[in-house]
């Protein structure tokens, strides 16, 4: 907790007030196939993997359908608006628009076959910007089991970690002040960790503690 407070203090001092939405709750509902293809891609650490989710903010409804792709070390995200009449936490939404992003998200989801709810992830996000970098600090992370998650032994877990992420196209970001944080980079998936903790496997936390 002390390290989290220190990190927030440094970020607020250096970059406070730089994002138009400085803080708020993020709600994500992740989907997977019946055979848990996305989970297995992530658990195995495959070079190429995808996650499918819908996202909303604070107490509002889900507003975006997203596909997060990782290829080697490069991470990209495709996002499309959800038609209001298909906004549901029980099924992957229908994307009736024909813009480029909607077509891409719809095609990628279809390539995986039928998608069902896997896990809900909720956390409080602090946002910062500098140059073309976006910096986010996520805390108070919770994972909630979906009815379709038959392996879950718990309905909800709190993940006792915070996640600092820098989003940029630069290969070597220049971020003055980050040396004061004394943090080491690590691969982290709220989706994977949330599911494994809900399934009663707390040992998965040991690599981060």
Condensed to tens digits (0 to 9), the pLDDT of residues 25-38 reads 999 999 999 999 99
Q: Say what the pLDDT of residue 174 is.
A: 77
Overall domain count for the chain: 1
CATH of residue 10's domain is 3.20.100.30
Residue range(s) defining the domain that contains residue 114: 2-208
3-state secondary structure the chain: CHHHHHHHHHHHHHHCCCCCCCEEEEEEEEEECCCCHHHHHHHCCCCEEEEEEEEEECCCCEEEEEEEEEECCEEEEEEEECCHHHCCCCCCCCCCCCCHHHHHHHHHHHHCCCCEEEEEEEEEEEEEEECCEEEEEEEEEEEEECCCCCCCCCCEEEECCCEEEEECCCCCCCCCCHHHHCCCCCCCCHHHHHHHHHCCCHHHHHHHC
Condensed to tens digits (0 to 9), the pLDDT of residues 123-181 reads 999 999 988 899 999 999 999 999 989 899 999 999 999 999 988 877 777 777 777 78
């Amino acid at each position: 907790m002390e390290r989290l407070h220190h990190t927030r203090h440094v970020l607020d001092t250096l970059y406070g007030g730089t994002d138009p939405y400085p803080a708020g709750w993020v709600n994500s509902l992740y989907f997977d196939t019946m055979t848990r293809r996305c989970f297995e891609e992530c658990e195995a650490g495959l070079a190429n993997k995808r996650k499918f989710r819908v996202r909303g903010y604070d107490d509002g409804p889900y507003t975006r359908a997203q596909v997060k792709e990782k290829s080697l070390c490069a991470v990209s995200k495709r996002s499309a608006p959800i038609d209001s009449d298909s906004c549901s936490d029980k099924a992957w939404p229908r994307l009736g628009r024909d813009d480029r992003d909607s077509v891409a998200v719809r095609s990628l989801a279809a390539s995986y076959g039928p998608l069902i709810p896997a896990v809900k992830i909720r956390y409080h996000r602090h946002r910062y910007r500098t140059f073309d970098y976006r910096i986010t600090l996520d805390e108070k992370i919770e994972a909630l089991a979906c009815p379709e998650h038959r392996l879950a032994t718990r309905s909800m877990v709190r993940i006792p970690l915070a996640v600092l992420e820098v989003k940029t196209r630069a290969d070597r970001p220049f971020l003055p002040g980050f040396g004061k944080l004394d943090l080491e980079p690590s691969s982290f998936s709220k989706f994977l960790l949330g599911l494994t903790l809900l399934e009663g496997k707390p040992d998965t936390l040991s690599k981060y503690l």
